[in-house]
Structure 1
Amino acid sequence: MNTFTACVERGENWWVAQLVEDPGVIVQARRLDQIQEEIRDALALFPELTDSPETAIVHLDLVGEVEQQAQATRDQLAAIREREAHELANMSQHARRLADGGYNYRDIAYLLGITYGRVGQILKAKTSTA
């Protein structure tokens, strides 16, 4: 097993995390972004939990409504960015197909809802990577 979950709570000046799989593993850090590495460091002291603590995947379960909402927003934004990347790839394909069909840059721009300059960039990038 190399995936762990830590229950994380904000203290006075520290973040405190307790491993769900072994409640005896408790770490603290000044910043939330340091918690996962602190847990990996602590896992090195418990070889019975994992053979490779440096590659352990640590999921953070934040205590507190606002913290959970912030984390959910971050996850939703990541999903939006992933979808955006997919749609931008589609746009590039559509621009190429339209250009191959004889459409001019301004018509392609209108159809895709972008500037004709952006159409030129997209088509140039597609040509240079082909």
Structure 2
Amino acid sequence: MTAYRVNARRSGDWWALEVPDLPGVFSQAKRLDSAARAAAEAIAVMTDADAGTIDVDIVPELDRATRSALADVARAKRARAEAEEVERQAMRAAAVALTNDMSQRDAGRILGVSFQRISQLLALPAAAARKARGSGREATKRAGRGSDLVPVQRSRSHERASA
């Protein structure tokens, strides 16, 4: 596959496309999403190649103010990603601290997230190890549950009466 750089410059309502590596190869497109196909077809006509074998890199030419605004967006996205990572680490540390002596549901309520999110924050290996060894309180609760309970079976007449 042959690759070409294609410069795209606004010209009225259209994008004027130019291939610097092939003098005299120009095209146009109404929108950038159709510029690659238009450029590949123009290159194919001029080089006698199949348009499907041509790879193009569309590079829009933008004014200084627009490039500056895009750079601001990129910086803001990086800052957001860094802040999200700091938040994730703080949430995980808080989840670990809270679940030392309370349930994941209670920890989730305190942190304002679901108990499922608490489980995700704790990570599966740590949560599985904790569940396998169980705390004294949890083990006692589990041991006393099933042996004393008798399943209740409702008759259909009882279900209709309670409905």
Q: Answer yes or no: is the 8 Å Cα contact 1:62–1:68 preserved in 2.
A: no
The alignment of Structure 1 onto Structure 2 pairs a total of residues equal to: 118
Q: Which residue in 2 is equivalent to 1:36?
A: 36
Query: 1:102 Cα deviation (Å)?
Result: 4.5
Secondary structure at the counterpart of residue 12 of structure 2:
coil
Unmatched runs of 5 consecutive residues or more in structure 2: 125-163
Over the matched positions of the two proteins, sequence identity in percent amounts to 17
Write the letter of the residue equivalent to 1:26.
F
CA distance in 1, matches of 2:48, 2:78: 35
Pairwise CA distance, 1:23: 3.4
Structure 2 counterpart SS, 1:72: helix
The amino acid of 1:117's aligned partner reads G
For the pair 1:68 / 2:63, whether they are aligned, the reply is no
1:85: Cα distance to partner? 6.4
> Which protein is bigger by CA-based radius of gyration?
2
Deviation (angstroms), 1:61: 4.1
CA RMSD of aligned residues (A): 4.1
AA matched with 1:35: A
Name the TM-score, length of structure 2 as normaliser. 0.47
2:117 pairs, out of 94, 97, 122, with: 122
**1:3·1:57 contact (CA, 8 Å) conserved in 2?**
yes
Q: Which has the higher contact order (CA 8 A, sep 6+)?
A: 1
More helix by share: 2
Q: Which segment drifts farther, 58-67 or 14-23?
A: 58-67
The correspondence for 2:107, drawn from 105, 108, 123, is 105
Structure 1 position 27 matched with structure 2 position 27: yes
SS of corresponding position for 2:34: helix
Match of 1:8 in 2: 8
Q: Which residue of structure 2 lines up, in the alignment, with residue 52 of structure 1?
A: 53
Secondary structure of 2:59's counterpart equals strand
Per-residue CA distance 1:64-100 (angstroms, 9 max, x = gap):
2234334434544554565566556646654554455
